[in-house]
Amino acid sequence: MEQPRIQFKKLKGFPKVDEEKVQTVAFLEAATEIVSVLETFGKLFSPVISDMNGNILKLKKSFEKDEIKYEYLEDMITLNVNVDNFAANALLWLKRGLQLICKFFENIFHDKQNTESLKHHLQNAYENTLKPYHGFLVQSTVKIIYSWVPSRTQLIGNGAAHDENLEVLEIFLPIMRKHLNRIDILLKKYNLDDASKP
């Protein structure tokens, strides 16, 4: 039996959200894992992968300027409000990319029919996350990508492997969603949730 492209049990995942603040390194490591998940989708997803990796790198550079001062992700943003929004902009676009992936896997998880084609799940995720921030050209490119998303079996397996992935996702996705919601609130609080299209 062919191995699924993704085994969520091998991912460390996002840190717990019980703490008042999120450790920058732990968050960026989890985001990097999500990019590695995207890499299993195929070469057509390279633009999304490249964009997310670019934003992770920008946040790492900001963190490395003062690793003590920016130990927590929130501090990297709040301490630079009205000074330099470099990190905030990188976090904004990284958050949007992560929201796309989170919504996509939430759609897969909640699909009780276990539909083999995941095209409509990706389309729904894109329309509910990134689409409002993309111009016509990017939207047209994404439409092509829909048709190349791997099938359910290819992505998360079938039988025991499929069920195991869903079991892990049941814990993984709510934690990821809480992180994204917290970042969303943070950016909106400081008017850093720029809705303009690149």
Percent of the chain with pLDDT over 90: 71
Q: Give CA separation, 63 vs 69, 80, 182, in Å.
A: 8, 12, 19
Lowest mean pLDDT among 4-13, 25-34, 64-73, 132-141: 132-141
2: pLDDT strictly greater than 80: no
Residue 1, pLDDT score: 57
Q: Is 19-189 assigned to CATH 1.10.260.40?
A: no
CA dihedral of 128, 129, 135, 141, whole degrees rounded to 10? -90
135: pLDDT strictly greater than 80: no
Residue type, 88: A
Residue 43, pLDDT score: 82
Residue 60, pLDDT score: 98
d(CA 198, CA 135): 8
DSSP run (H or E) holding 4: none
Q: Quick count: other Cβ atoms within 10 Å of Cβ 101?
A: 22
* Direct distance between the N- and C-terminal alpha carbons of the chain, in angstroms, rounded to an integer: 44
Mean pLDDT of the 3-27 span: 90
Q: Which of 81, 29, 47, 84 is nearest to 62 (CA)?
A: 84
Residue 171, pLDDT score: 96
Average pLDDT, rounded, for the chain: 90
Residue with tokens 């990097």: 32
Six token digits for residue 47: 């633009």
Give residue-wise pLDDT tens across range 100-118. 999 999 999 999 999 999 9
- Any idea where the domains of the chain sit in the sequence? 19-189
Residue 114, pLDDT score: 96
Lowest mean pLDDT among 2-6, 7-11, 35-39, 187-191: 2-6
Mean pLDDT of the 34-48 span: 88
pTM: 0.93
138: pLDDT strictly greater than 70: no
Residue type, 85: N
> In this structure, are residues 111 and 121 in contact, taking their beta carbons and an 8 Å threshold?
yes
197: pLDDT strictly greater than 60: no
195: pLDDT strictly greater than 90: no
